[in-house]
Each structure stands twice: as structure tokens, then as C-alpha cells.
Amino acid sequence: MEHGLSQRLYVALAPWLLLILESIFVIAAVALTFLSQRKSKPGEKAPVFLSLRSAFARLARRKALAAFAVGASTLVLRVALIPLWGVPQPMWHDEFSFLLAADTFAHGRLTNPTHPMWIHFESFHIIQHPTYMSMYPPAQGLMLAAGQLLGHPWIGQLLTTAMMCSVLCWMLQAWLPPTWALLGASLAMLQVGLLSYWMNSYFGTSLPALGGVLVLGALPRIQRHARLRDALLMGLGLAILANTRPFEGFVFSLPIAAALLIWLAKQKRIPVATVFRRVVLPLILILGATGAAMGYYFWRVTGNPFVMPYEVDRQTYAMAPYFVWQHPRPEPVYHHAEMKDFYVQWELRDFQSGRTPLGFARRLRHRFRMLWTFYVGPIFTLPFLAFPFLFRDRKMRFPLLLAAGVAVGVFMETWTLDHYLAPALGLFYLFLVQCIRHLRLYRWRHRPVGHGLARAIPLLCLAMVVLRLTAVATGTPIEPLWQRGNLQRNVIVRELQTMPGKHLVIVHYGPNHSAHIDWIFNRADIDGSQVVWARDMGDSRNQELLLYFKDRQAWRIEADDPVPKLEPYARGRSEN
């Protein structure tokens, strides 16, 4: 009885366990800082701390080396953690969609022909007509394809996240003193770059963040020097945003474009011809080439250069619109119960629940809680108590206006997930570091406690990383269950790979199946794949699939069983 009670208690606390532990660490650090009886002077520190701070400052002053060091550290540390943390397995719909794009690109194609048996392979965020392809923009698929060519798609995510941390340091150097820029990038590495799902999944997370920090880091450099390389980097960032998160990227880029135009109109220091040659013309050429390439890609996938695959997918399957002011579409024809459950029972109901004032308020509360949990958490809540002081900083005026525009744009969307705000990641860490600088000046009873609080923040981040790694090493379950992906499906995949020949796996779900977790994922070349995954459409409909794949060993699997197992599927069996 006591064991059952402890299990129920763990299930109830599991989603909050890391936050609870982090909160305890923060409270302890604040208490130690305020209760310390020794009234030290601001410059009086332990020799070890002085030595570390001096080395950190020396590295920070070498700006290029500092940016490289952050990215290299992210890469090396995460690779070193593979024996403990493992390589992530895909689990969510989006991941499988991105992996389809990666496999397509890795084989030198932009899309794939519709399969004759496509109705058995329908899956989320993947179009089957007019071609078979991911609905998402191509940039994330291209990065995963690069990883696949190097040995595994996750290598692309690993390299992208390391580059994002490195370029974030470069971006912060344009807005902050070098030491503070390196601190911000180091915090990003600890919070986002190592153990978060931005690194440990196949979502399009780090790549739009990379695009955003390129744009935000190039803006003040262009305004100061009007160099060609900064314009090229801004153009590259805009191209990445357009091909990862187009709407959020547009919302983020629009105020930056306005600021650039105002600067072009007002500045008199640099000749107009020089500005046009170094800034305006390169941006026009890059954006023009990006638009042409996107149009060609859309034409190959959808048959129309002005129709995105995303639009085709939503028109085919979705009822709920993307923006809160739009109206639902008529219900389409669904061939599979799990797809109807997702688009009608979850998406549509969620959209409709937010149309009332109370429902909209609840949705906003949920979004704030979700974004606070991922980006801020208990540790960063401490410095963000100084956020009001940012309104006094002249240099923060434009970033604050930019953040307000991003917030308005994102909250117009029906759904918001953590990585939807990825283009604005650089803004977040800019605000965070500036808040730490203000916190550092805080005095209590004439004592500079702000110094201790500011020093505690990176130490707390490091402590949480150590705690999480220790928990994994000792088998203590404090991480969310989905952190490593769908391990059960991976066990089946590995089992099938050890068997000779080719296989067809017909997947059946139970009545309480979660529509957010799906097993149906096929590679770009379905017929050439060793394993083909299909939805169970009943014995009579399954026969056409079995006939088409008559050279394959057919299996059936109950995906919602506690331990899913392969069972031979009898060909030609009658309907029960």
C-alpha cells in the first residue's frame, strides 16, 4: 500500500520535480547570501574565484576565441555525455516529419512521388498529395540531412545547437561588454545547449534561434560600420528564419527592418553609395535568391511556387485555423481514427476553448507558465526581478520594443510552444544578462549582496546540470519520461534490423491512445526501406497492403501495450 502511494505521489510530482529541486537550490543560495554575517568588501574575493574570473575575462576579451570556445564546449560536452545521456530517439509528430525531409534531401531529392498505398501511411505533418513530403520549411531538414550524411541525423542537430551557442556569444558582444557577453552565452549553453530538448530532439529549435541571433547581432554592427560581412550575416539570418519559422521570423524581422531603414534615412557619416554597395545591395541579392529558391522548392513539392507544403497539409487535415481570429474549416475526410482524434478532438477543441474571454485568459496563463518554465525557471527569476530597471537603459529601448512586437505576434497564434519563440532567443539572453548587471548593484543594509546573488546564478545553473546527470547515472527518475524519445519503438526497430529480409509492421492503437504519440514513420523511399510502417485499417483493408508487399514478412503490433511486441500477421485472414 505504501509503495502504491509513493508511486501515485511520484506521478503527481514528476512534471514539477525539477522545478521543485531548482527552487530549493535558489532559496538556499539566496538565504546563504543574505544570512552571511561576514561583511566583505565588493573587491574582496577568494583567490580561486579571482583566478577563475581573471581567466574568464581574458578569454572574453578575445572575442572570436570566446565565441568559438562556447560552441566548441557545447559540442565536446554533449558528445562526452553520449555514454550517459545517449542519442535521442524521435517521438513526436514534428520530429518524424523533419526526419522525412532529411532522408529525402540526403538522397538528393526535393520531394518524393505519392505511394500507391499512401492511404495506409498517412501521418501527421506530412503531405501525401501532390507529392510525399514534410509540410515544414526545408532548412531543418537540410541540417538533419547533413547529419545523416555524416552518420546520423542527430549530428545535424548537435552541430546546429553548438553553432547557435557560439553565434549567440557573437551577438551579445555587439550589445554588451565582452565578459558579460561570454557569461550570457555560457548560461545559454548550460540551460539550452546541453540537456534541453533543443539539443536532444529533432525539432526545428536551434536553427531558427541561430537565424535570429545572426540578425540581431548584425544590426548594431551595420549601424556602426556598414560592413559587407555584417550585411551578409544578416541576410543569412533572414534566409534561415524564412525557411524555419516563417511567421515568427517575419514578426521578429519586421521591427529590425524598420530600425535599419530609419538608420539609412538618418545617418550622414557614411556615404550613401557605400551603404548601398555594402548593405542594401547584398541584402536585396540574398533575399531575392532566397525567395526564388523557396518558390522553386514549393513548386516541386506542391506544384505551385506560391503554395507552401504547410498550407497543403492544413487544408487537407486541419479544422482549427492557425490564428485566433480565424474561423474553423469544414471537417475533411479522415481515414484513421487517431488522425481525427488529433485534429478534431484536440486541435479543434483547444481552439474553440480559447474563443471565450475566460478560455483566452486560461490559454494566456498556460502560455506564460510554459514559457516561464522553459526559459526562466526559478534560477533566472532571481535576476529578472530587476527587469523594470531595463526601461531606464537607453540601449535597451529598441530590444524592449522588439520584444513587445514579438509577444503580440506570437500570442495571435492559436498555439505556442517553447521553440516558437526561438528567433527571439538572443533577446531573452540580452535581457537576462542586463538584469544580472543590475542585480549585481543591489545592496541590502549597506552590504553588496547583489554581487553574491549574481555569482550564484551560473553556479546554480551548473549545479542543476550536475544534479540531472547524477540522477541519470544513478537511475533516479527526475527527468520527464519523454526526454529520451520513444524508446519502445526504437527497441522494435532494432529487433527488426537484426532479422533477415524486409518487413511490414501494421500498427494498432488502443482506445485510450494519445494522439500526440505516433509510430507511423516511413523513409523517403518506402518500397526500398527494410521496415515499412502502416496503420491498421482492419483485416479486409489490410489485405491490399499485404498483397502489395507480398515479399515482406508482415507483423502486427499493439503500440499501446505496456511492452509492445511483434506478432506475425496472418495473410488472408478474415475480418473478426
Residues 6+ apart with CB under 8 A from 347: 318, 319, 320
176-181 contacts, C-beta under 8 A, 24 or more apart = 176/430, 176/433, 176/434, 178/60, 178/61, 178/63, 178/66, 179/56, 179/57, 179/60, 179/61, 180/433, 180/436, 180/437, 181/60, 181/63, 181/66, 181/433
pLDDT at 49: 67
The pLDDT score that the predictor gives to residue 7 is 46
| pLDDT higher than 90, residue 476 | no
Give the strand pairing for 553-558 and 566-568.
Answer: antiparallel
Q: In 10 A of CB 451, how many CB atoms? A: 21
**Beta-carbon contacts of residue 204 (< 8 Å; ≥ 6 apart):** 94, 98, 136, 139, 140, 244, 245, 419, 422
Pairing of strands 503-508, 553-558: parallel
Q: How many CB atoms lie within 10 A of CB 285?
A: 13
Statement: residue 283 has pLDDT above 60: yes
Mean pLDDT to the nearest integer, 170-197: 96
What average pLDDT is seen over the chain? 91
Specify the pLDDT at position 46: 58
Q: Which residues of 139-166 are buried (b: 16+ CB within 10 A; e: fewer)?
A: bbbbbbbbbbeeeebbbbbbbbbbbbbb
pLDDT digits (tens, 9 = 90+) for 370-423: 999 999 999 999 999 999 999 999 999 999 999 999 999 988 888 888 999 999
The contacts of residue 202 (CB under 8 Å, 6+ apart) are 88, 90, 94, 95, 98, 99, 144, 153, 154, 157
pLDDT band with cut points at 50, 70 and 90 for residue 515: confident
Average pLDDT in the 301-326 region?
A: 94
Helix axes 377-384, 425-439, angle to 10 degrees: 60
4: pLDDT confidence band, cut at 50, 70 and 90?
very low
Q: Quick check: 486 and 517 in contact, CB under 8 A? A: yes
CA distance linking residue 244 with residue 160, whole number of Å: 13
381: nearest Cα among 466, 309, 453: 453
- Position 446 scores a pLDDT of 80
Any idea what DSSP says for residue 418?
Answer: G
- Each domain of the chain, given as residue ranges in start order, spans 2-56+417-474, 487-568
Please enumerate in sequence order all residues whose Cβ is within 8 A of that of 369, keeping only pairs 6 or more positions apart, or say none.
none
Q: What is the DSSP letter of 549?
A: T
- Is residue 131 a contact partner of residue 554, using CB atoms and an 8 Å limit? no
Dist. CA 471–CA 479, nearest whole Å: 8
Q: What's the pLDDT tens digit per position in 102-138?
A: 999 999 999 999 999 999 999 999 999 999 999 999 9
Widest pairwise Cα distance in the chain: 85
In the prediction, which pLDDT does 354 show? 84
pLDDT tens digit sequence for 493-504: 999 999 999 999
Enter the C-alpha cell of residue 204: 526545428
What pLDDT score was predicted for residue 483?
A: 62
> Does residue 139 or residue 56 have the better pLDDT?
139
As to burial, measured by CB atoms within 10 angstroms (0-12 exposed, 13-18 middle, 19+ buried), residue 326 is: exposed
The DSSP call for residue 323 is B
- Number of DSSP helices (H) and strands (E) in the chain, helices first: 24, 6
- Spatial CA neighbour of 434 closest among 393, 490, 377: 393
Instruction: Extract the C-alpha cell encoding 37.
Output: 554575517
* Residue 533, strand partner residues: 505
295 vs 281: CA distance, rounded Å: 21
pTM of the model: 0.92
Angle at 298 (CA atoms; ends 294, 302), nearest 5 degrees: 175
- Provide, rounded to the nearest whole percent, the portion of the chain with pLDDT above 70: 93
Helix crossing, 228-242 with 281-302: angle to 10°? Answer: 20
- Pairing relationship of beta strands 126-127 and 133-134 according to DSSP bridges: antiparallel
Read off the pLDDT band of 554 (50, 70, 90): very high
pLDDT at 37 over 60: no
Taking Cα atoms as reference points, which of 209, 217, 211 lies closest to residue 189? 209
Mean pLDDT of 440-452: 87
pLDDT computed for residue 480 by the predictor: 67
Q: For residues 444 and 234, which has the higher predicted lDDT (pLDDT)?
A: 234
| Sheet of strand 553-558, all strands in order from the earlier edge strand to the far edge | 531-535, 503-508, 553-558, 566-568
Whether residue 316 is predicted with pLDDT greater than 70 in this model: the reply is: yes
Mean pLDDT of 316-342: 92
Angle between helices 153-173 and 206-225 (to 10 degrees): 30
DSSP H helical ranges for 320-448: 337-340, 349-353, 357-371, 377-384, 397-410, 425-439
